[in-house]
A and B are shown apart, each in its own frame.
Chain A
């Protein structure tokens, strides 16, 4: 979601007008928290409330006025009103999208699938212009996303029940079967993901006995192109009813909004679960095996304050890595060595602190997407390889970075509390 900051001329005018009844509260919300010299949060006790229209000071204890009057309004909210509504009165056919909904929100992958689903709807409607199809989203568990309509959901099968909580593929499969028998959708689109999409697709395909096309990255109503042989081949074939789609298979919906009408399912029998979830194991970032880590903070010969390095890694929630020199010197365990004679990592983001970038080290980070270098030597190979390099002393920089993270966490925490408060209100 784009977060372009838009001007709010009215709010700006209020800020300029010191006599406006909302002046104080607005200014306050802009200033944010004020910290005293000792770093403690200070509260100006005289700064509460505002002068009401009749000149009497009012205190808005219910927080009614402060909520929506910030100068910041996100562009997305703006477009909410601007986008035309796509209405499907009566759906003649359905394209089902079974969403991953990680954390109750549509993932980027889910949104790509919704985009793909609408392209299919258009293709089917072209042939038969009277006919009108709907993109239906199937999702399980709590929904925290309030923008389903903006992402292209015409109809919504929301299955919220304790049987669908957590890892519950068997119950979910049951629901899909029910939808299948009630609505006979034209296509079922699943995200080809590790979040359960691919698993559910395979289960569904095996259950109803229809072959699916997996790892599809191009799809129209006639044909689809899928990756086979561990991504080395393209298989072109007739589009089957069930497909699992790779990320970025199509563009997400951005110009329209949709009804997201809830659909009802007839009651169904929940199959007895042979798989039972016993909960998630808490695996600490520092305990994640290097090869699996997504975000690595790696230390080399240019680290002089090890306590600070470890503290920063913890604050960032990063997995620790090291160059051979750091390991040889005994500062880091061998299992943390990155490189030719250590681990070949696959992290998306790799931060190399005080590592010169010897070829043997570089071999180990060949698959990293984004490399950030922190080094005092602008000419070293790591800086050349990095997507972002800062020429600075590791000590000072890690300190600054750690404090940024701390602020960020505090702010997030405050926001959460605020969010809960406003929910309660």
Chain B
């Protein structure tokens, strides 16, 4: 019996089947909403995006990055050569040798995958993912053996039909995993979807060292009001490339490992969330999910297998509990860590928009805070006329009077809060010491809209943004500085969507950046700091959202402070728990995020933690004493300011 035809046929059939699966998968994505994407350019850019951006993230874990290069690289090469050598039967010893080399490389990589899977950390999914290294090993060994004759090491027709049959069976096994799995939904799906996701990413600005963190606005218009649903109710309300992005997840659980809400035992696990999104648009239940479940908020976990969804079913009716969505602090730690560049925060806020705008279901204080913002332009419902009370003794120029100034100081809602006012006053003192030509908007300023937007109320955000822009456009200034990273982010990254020229040519800066310049220019004279050990907490909206890690550190260094860095700092900084409206929705967990962050601080032995955000200050000071002192960098600087004697 001659069975030589069998392996190539098998490979061919499986390739076709994989193609069918790919079309089916693509159709699943196409259930999403239309979104303009540069298809060709994206595909062209894909390899660079992979090699540069994705690899850059993966490379934070050297072990897995090397493993992945060997396994993934070996596989892609091997697969191409297999098609040539075994399907088209190109008879070239060189090719065969190359194929074998690729397979050896892949084998070595797969060995390391195997090793990691011997005792996998909890963040990794189990289930089919435990099988994957074995399939990869089988694949490389099988094709190695199959290629031996082609390489001329073994004569053609070696072995009998039994041997061929065994080989074919192994081919079937391993190719089902790596080929069919890719498009029909196995662990290897990440390669297929991941590659396309890189090509058609919704935030292409992220690649090549760029940054794209501003949320995309909801479109409101009078005529579509009747039928259009605002925000994402069903999986099919996502943009198609968002769905594609969810499919790219490798279930590496890096997001889970860094998620503060998950660590606090709140009912959120970003990895599970992404997997639930996949369940949503592909239909079915989460029974197949083999990773860590959502915590239940009381120290236990939610049982897996009961969540059901479909492309046209409301997500919060049975697939995801709203509390999961409201637990997120929008800290972007998950996004930062995700090797597949998945945008968790976008998805979460999209779904929150539906809950707030369409269902009116923002939990706890959410409704009240939004109502206050609407009626008073600040979250606590203070009189808008009292916004400038804090500055009564500060002798600050008002834009209304001076019309133009070099620097506009955006005060933000800290103006209403006694603790934050200390930061504001400290900053003003520094500005004055450096003789900066500065003015404030006074009562004309409004909430930046940050909280409203993260709580899903994009209508209120947009209304605030437009009114703020209208105010700003009346005045002339070259720099806008704020002590509030949340307002900073909105002004810098999100106000651009509303067609105003108010901020054109204006440099929007966080106060640490601005102060750092002043110090470098020698406009502030500062003493060395002689207090005890100091650590620095990176605010999410300053660091991950805006990439400013250096200025605060340089400022502290300029005081002679040698920062005792926390294990999780800079881009890995752990959130204080204060973002995304999380303190307002206040979803119960087992512990508080701020307490965990304070433990991080304590473990450095620091007596003081420097921050650059009023919200972080409030959250960290909310930890019961005794604990290290919490101070904004402006406050620390003021303490060391050398008053010039004239």
Contacts and interface: CB of A to CB of B under 8 A. Distances in A.
A and B touch in the complex (CB under 8 A): yes
A328 B592 contact: yes
Contact of B365 (A325, A328, A341): A341
Interface in A378-400: none
Given A341-B365, A358-B622, A334 B588 contact: yes
B417 A359 contact: yes
Contact of A341 (B417, B584, B621): B584
Contacts of A325: 624
Nearest to A380: B625
A360 interface: yes
B618 to A, nearest CB: 7
Interface in A293-333: 301, 325, 328
A71 interface: no
Given A341-B364, A341-B365, A359 B618 contact: yes
Nearest to A330: B298
Contacts of A340: 365, 583
A360 B618 CA distance: 9
A76 interface: no
Nearest to A328: B592
A341 B624 contact: no
Interface string A354-384: 0010111001000000000000000000000
Contacts of B622: 358, 360
B380 A363 contact: yes
Contacts of A360: 618, 622
B586 interface: yes
Nearest to A344: B368
Interface in A148-175: none
A359 B364 contact: no
Interface centre among A334, A356, A360 (most CB of B within 10 A): A360
Contacts, number: 22
Q: B-side binding surface: helix, strand, loop or mixed?
A: loop
B645 interface: no
A301 to B, nearest CB: 6
Interface residues of A, number: 11
Contacts of A301: 624
Nearest to B589: A328
A341 B586 contact: yes
A301 B626 CA distance: 13
A375 to B, nearest CB: 13
A328 B590 CA distance: 9
B419 interface: yes
Interface in B354-368: 364-365
A338 to B, nearest CB: 13
B421 to A, nearest CB: 11
A301 B624 CA distance: 9
Given A328-B592, A341-B364, A341-B584, A356 B380 contact: no
Nearest to A323: B624
B51 interface: no
Nearest to B583: A341
Contacts of B583: 340-341
Nearest to B298: A330
A328 B622 CA distance: 13
Contacts of A356: 624-625
Interface in A330-350: 334, 340-341
A381 B237 CA distance: 50
22 contacts: A301-B624, A325-B624, A328-B592, A334-B588, A340-B365, A340-B583, A341-B364, A341-B365, A341-B583, A341-B584, A341-B586, A356-B624, A356-B625, A358-B621, A358-B622, A359-B417, A359-B418, A359-B419, A359-B618, A360-B618, A360-B622, A363-B380
Interface of B: 364-365, 380, 417-419, 583-584, 586, 588, 592, 618, 621-622, 624-625
Interface of A: 301, 325, 328, 334, 340-341, 356, 358-360, 363
Q: List 10 tightest A-B contacts by C-beta distance, closest first.
A: A341-B586, A359-B419, A325-B624, A341-B365, A301-B624, A358-B622, A360-B622, A341-B583, A359-B418, A341-B364
Given A334-B588, A359-B417, 8 more contacts: A328-B592, A340-B583, A341-B364, A341-B365, A356-B625, A359-B419, A359-B618, A360-B622
